Each structure stands twice: as structure tokens, then as C-alpha cells.
Amino acid sequence: MNKFFKSIEENYNAKGSCLCVGLDPEVAKMPERFRGSRTAIFDFLSIVVERTHDLACAFKPNMAFFESSGPEGLVQLQRLIGHIREVDPGIPIILDAKRGDIGNTAKHYAKAIFEVFAADGITVSPYMGADTVETFAAYSDKGIFALCLTSNPGYLDFENRDTGGEPLFIAVARRMAEIDRAGNIGLVVGATHPSEAEKVRAAAPDLPFLMPGIGAQGGDPSAIMRIGMTASGLPPIVNSSRGILFPEGEFPAACRTAALETRDLLNKYIR
């Protein structure tokens, strides 16, 4: 277990939580007082961070929501990462970037995520081959989550295709386990497909899972908490975004309530 996953474990033990709060800032869904401001994304998410950090083992900003606001959005992302460091210095930050490329291009992607934005982890696409993931994994103190079994219905198009007697997502899991030399590779495994997720766990018993798909996407916590645990006992990192950022009720109290309820629901099913 490398530095990143040790910090996940430490946060889990200290806070009793395997909840990852996804930071996907849809400005149109924010309370009216934030809209129209140049710093709406930071202003909104900084409050969410302050109200939920003690209930979370990680934060996961989704880069697309910052990039779509142009240069100012990326400035706000950097500012948000700095704010998270101030509020909770020990909590890991996973940038949901889904990068994947070869050679020098991959090196620049990795440098941007880990050195410019100073993230602790990243989501990557492994579909150009293991060498694309190894470039990111060379940062041995970071956490690398390869897309494996995603939570969207379109996983059937490619991830579930037969590859010599087993689905492609199993081939991905096996290959990622083979190249995990630094103990810093995990898998993105959707909470919406528990029977398939169980096959991934069997193929890669030691790789940690980042599991999106609970809440708005309808994933089953009772199933994923059993399946998501590694052989060594590290719980899955279970992400919830919309359910915590935009719950019914008064902001920001409703965000904290949603995070608390989600944490407690997950804990109910830890084996």
C-alpha cells in the first residue's frame, strides 16, 4: 500500500467513512446567490468542503466542470485544491480527469495533474494500453484509478465485449493488477453493476476500488460494500456527487445531512 492508499485508510479509520465527495459544480443547480459570480464555483464548493470534510475519506473534483468555464474555471480549481489543503490537510484529492495517452503526451498529462494542480490521485483511461497507465503510476506516491467497469449503461458497448472468453473489463482488471508494481493502482468500478463488480473483485483481489454510481444513479450500497473490500481489508472509496451537492433542502445544511446519511448508510454494510 503506497502513500495515497495509506492516507485513504487513515482517513477511513479516523472518520469512520469510506465516502468520497464528488465535486461536480453545475452552476445552474447552485443556489441563486452564487450564480453570475466569476468565482461561483469556488464560492459554492468551498462551503461544501467545509461542511463535509470530516465525513469523507477523499474529495474528487471533476475536471470537466472546471474546464468548461475556461481559464477562470481552472484558476478556481487550483484555488479549491488549496482551500481543501487548508481545511483538511490530510484528505486525499482525486482529480477525475480520465486521461489516457502515450509517450510524451502522457508525461505532460501526468505533470499537469500531479505537479501543476498538485492532486493526490487521478482517474485514467487504460484503453490505449498498459504503457499509458504506467506513465501515471511512475508517480509512486499517487493513486491511479483505471476505468474498468463504469457505472453508465454504455458500458455494454465495449467494456462488456467478449475477449477470448471473458469480458474486456476483466482483461483490464487483470492487466492493471499485473503492472501494479508500486501498489498505487486501483480500478473505477461502478456501483450499478454488482454482479459484474464481483467478477472484477475476483480477478483483482488486491486492487482498491473507486466506486461511483450510488445516489442519483441508483447503485446498491449493500452489495458494493461487500464486493468492494480488498483482500487486505481496505474498503471501497464510494463516490457520491449530485446527491451531496444538490440535495433537497436548505444549503449548506442539506449537503452535510446528505453526506452524513450516505456515510452512515455505507457503514451499515461494511463486513
Catalytic site residues? Answer: 98
Q: Are 213 and 237 in contact (CB under 8 A)?
A: no
3-state SS class at 240? strand
Q: Could you give the count of Cα atoms lying within 13 Å of 122 in the half-sphere of its Cβ?
A: 29
Q: How remote is the C-alpha of 184 from its chain's centroid? A: 14
Which contacts qualify for 200-204: CB closer than 8 Å, 24 or more apart? 200/148, 200/149, 200/169, 200/170, 200/173, 201/227, 201/228, 203/170, 203/173, 203/174, 203/177, 204/173, 204/174, 204/176, 204/177
Task: Count CB-CB contacts under 10 A for residue 66.
Answer: 25
- Residue at grid coordinates 457503514: 267
H/E element, 123: strand 121-124
Q: Are 128 and 100 in contact (CB under 8 A)?
A: yes
DSSP assignment letter at 113: I
Q: How remote is the C-alpha of 177 from its chain's centroid? A: 19
Q: Are 1 and 139 in contact (CB under 8 A)?
A: no
Closest CA to 173 of 150, 204, 149: 204
